[in-house]
Amino acid sequence: MAESNRNSTRKRTVQTQIIKVGTNEAGKLPPQAQELEDSVLGAIMIEKEAYGSVADLLRPEVFYKDQNRLVYEAIRALAAKDQPIDILSVVEKLKSQGTLDQAGGAVYLADLTRRVASTAHLRYHAQIVAQKATARDLIALAAQIEEKGFDETQDTDELMQEAEAGIFEISQRSQKRDVTQIDPVIEEAFKRMEKAAKNDGSISGIPSGFDALDKITSGWQTPDLIIIAARPSMGKTAFVLSMAKNMAIDRKIPVAIFSLEMSNVQLVNRLIMNVCEIEGEKIKTGKFTKEESRRLNTKINIMKGTPLYMDDTPSLSIFELRSKARKLVREHDVKLIIIDYLQLMNAQGSSFGSREQEVAIISRNLKALAKELDIPIIALSQLNRGVEARQGIDGKTPQLSDLRESGAIEQDADMVCFIHRPEYYHLYNDEKTGKDLRGLAQIIIAKHRNGATDSIWLRFRGKYAKFQNEGEAVDADEMATIPVATAENSISIRSRGMNNPLGAVSFGQQMTQDSYSNINSMGEDIAPQF
């Protein structure tokens, strides 16, 4: 924190002193436009509506002259309280703040108003003042990075992160969007409606490949930030890889995956399990049956040449992600980005007092990136242990308050989805509906900024790290491994009927809790955290 204060103090000092640019160059005066500063301030004190037209462009820090900075601070204080802004009110405000003499006195303010020839080009002049301030900030940052670059004790990677974070911060301050009249926005809305109509009106965004989910969301929408959260072993990575397969392999939609936890080879092995329906242990050992070898050789060719891009950079920073994401969209026309997972990212180069603040910076920047690139971004997230402490089928259901480390994730996200597998907690039957929950995963849409909240069911096939639509077929050998609940584990399954999608297991079978754990581990042991 002290270092941050020293840096900010130094930055303010650099802005008011002569900066040395390079080791062999003479001192240069920082970029400035003092005459325009005077003219802008004078116009604000003369013209009633002037402040409102430039308030989005100007901050006190953009003024090079100390007197002008103090005058503008007084003007902003008046505007904040909706008080009139003129030379008399500004003088009185400076008096009340005890800074009138430092601001040059009443004579200086009167002189500012006399220098105004016209207020016709006020906004243009204010833009020049702001641009000069941005140039000074860049020079100050460059001087700071140059000094640290000569320090051999500095870590080069950290210095690069600091430089990128500094430039990003400056660019965010300087980027301003003009107000848009509604007509072009209406045209854009109609274009999107026409595009949706060509898809039979069912899917207007990027389809996940899960029919029930796409029915609620109409596909992942641009430029949404979607958070998919769950406790460990619920299937977060398996879920997004199943989606990536549905998008990139089945529909040829370009998708990028940033994996901070697993290597690219591990991800591809998971994808092979999914596509070829081969157990992970066999992929590790390379020992296959003839049928599995045939399936592997046939389906592996389907995966080749697909527009799926992977990056396994560990401890990826939000600023590295921005650079790589822009390149992927520009060069490969990537339509969706997946991040596995958010809590493993960092915000190196930025100042923060706690991990919660760092996560807040990351989630805010992810939303800004989705908006900038106009694509959906899906970020996986961990849940805290609050779920484990609660009892019963309802108690084990995740809630928004379970999101780990920062409430900013919930605030910044356009959609928050939870993955919940009741059978993980040995809950095999929904007593309210009679639904057989074995082999199923619930996808809960807990927040949906632009639509309804709801939940849907998918089938989870653990040994293949695969999610699929609930109604899709499962082979008989796999169904034989689904546990049957008995009184021994305190769960009673109702008559199979229509509520059981896995109707091949005889209800006369008996299974103890220990034998269930042994069979269930067949999927879990392949990779501890799906």
What are the catalytic residues? 261
**How buried is residue 386: exposed, middle or buried, by Cβ count under 10 Å (0-12/13-18/19+)?**
middle
Q: Classify the phi-psi angles of 465: left when phi > 0, otherwise alpha if psi is within -120 to 50, otherwise beta.
A: left
φ/ψ of residue 420, rounded to 5: -135, 120
Residue type, 374: D
β-strand partners of 20: 27
Taken as a whole, the chain contains a residue count of: 530
Q: How many CB atoms lie within 10 A of CB 412?
A: 20
Distances (CA, A) of 408 to 222, 358, 403, 513: 20, 10, 10, 40
Q: How far is CA 77 from the centre of its chain?
A: 35
Residue 373 DSSP class: H
Cα 114 to Cα 46: distance, rounded to the nearest angstrom: 10
| Token pair recorded at residue 416 | 């928050």
Angle between helices 34-46 and 122-149 (to 10 degrees): 140
Residue type, 338: I
What end-to-end distance do the CA atoms of the chain give, in Å? 38
Helix (H, G, I), strand (E, B) or coil at 277: coil
Q: How many CA within 13 A on the CB side of residue 480?
A: 3
| Separation between Cα atoms, residue 416 and residue 225, nearest integer Å | 9
Long-range contacts of 86-91 (CB under 8 A, 24+ apart): 86/45, 86/46, 87/45, 87/113, 90/45
Q: Which two tokens stand for residue 345?
A: 């990212």
CA distance 437 to 139: 61
Please say whether the dihedral angle defined by the alpha carbons of residues 201, 205, 207 and 212, taken in this order, is positive or negative: negative
Looking up tokens 């805290």, which residue turns up? Answer: 384
| Closest residue by Cα to residue 137 from 114, 161, 168 | 168
Q: Which residues contact 300 (CB under 8 A, 6 or more apart)?
A: 272, 275, 276
